[in-house]
Amino acid sequence: MGTSAPVKVYGPPMSTAVSRVLGCLLEKDVPFQLINVNMSKGEHKSPEFLKLQPFGQVPAFQDEAITLFESRAICRYIAEKHANKGNTKLYGTNLLEKASIEQWLEAESQSFNPPSSALLFQLALAPRMKIPQDEGLIKQNKEKLAKVLDVYDKRLGDSRYLAGDEFTLADLSHLPNPQYLVSGTEVKELFMSRENVGRWWEEISSRESWKKVVEMQNSPPS
């Protein structure tokens, strides 16, 4: 009694969606067990895995009686269940803070993620998978991302973090894609040429929680 089993996260830390959930668990100081899903062997499409995640994607997540999918929904659940644990500001402490966090979480999901995911695929994954790069798509998504980052740069000139004075789920949700883009591709310049975005990126990506996630990404799978 009293000590509950660690939550389970299914999927490799190299996955951007998995790393979003890991970042949240580390911020909230919630113990977890990472369960490998060998995607190169197609384990994420196995009948057994589809019972956990019907779309055949990672992560899947289990905590006591509940199984969940979708990284941003899992993060909200963790942050709400453990409101008073770890970083207690992560999901806001009142209706107005939470509304601002939700607004910038949705900006990530609707405006930032589509072009940054497309660039991640084209610039980082396609070469490794020996898929030809699509120069048209690269150009188009750089332009889209630049426009989004212009809005962010203005916001981050008025505010230390996206949702206000505190690091929240809204900032955390942005970490996975630029981790690959800023460290290994020409897209770095889109972030660093914007003063406030550059300052914000340095600050959020050097948090202890995120540095641990990056270490996990760089460790060979067991």
Please say whether the beta carbons of 31 and 71 come within 8 A: no
Minimal distance in Å, beta carbon 52 to a second copy?
Answer: 12
Select from 38, 110, 133, 193 the one that contacts a second copy (CB under 8 A): 110
Instruction: Say which residues have a Cβ less than 8 Å from residue 155's Cβ, sequence separation at least 6.
Output: 162, 196
Toward a second copy, which CB reaches closer, 50 or 184?
50
Q: Does 111 bind a second copy (CB under 8 A)?
A: yes
Toward a second copy, which CB reaches closer, 68 or 182?
68
Please say whether the beta carbons of 148 and 87 come within 8 A: no
Select from 31, 33, 96, 195 the one that contacts a second copy (CB under 8 A): 96
Q: Stretches 63-71, 174-182, 193-201, 207-215: which one binds a second copy (CB under 8 A)?
A: 63-71
The whole-angstrom separation of Cα 120 and Cα 60 is 22
Residue 132 DSSP one-character state: P
Minimal distance in Å, beta carbon 29 to a second copy?
Answer: 18
As a whole number of angstroms, the longest Cα–Cα distance in the chain is 58
| CA distance readout (Å), 212 to 41, 60, 94, 194, 199 | 26, 20, 29, 26, 20
Q: Does 65 bind a second copy (CB under 8 A)?
A: yes
The whole-angstrom separation of Cα 154 and Cα 195 is 10
Q: Does 161 bind a second copy (CB under 8 A)?
A: no
**Residues in contact with a second copy by the rule CB under 8 A:** 54-55, 65-66, 68-70, 72-73, 76-77, 80-81, 95-96, 98-100, 102-103, 105-107, 109-111, 114, 148, 151, 154-155
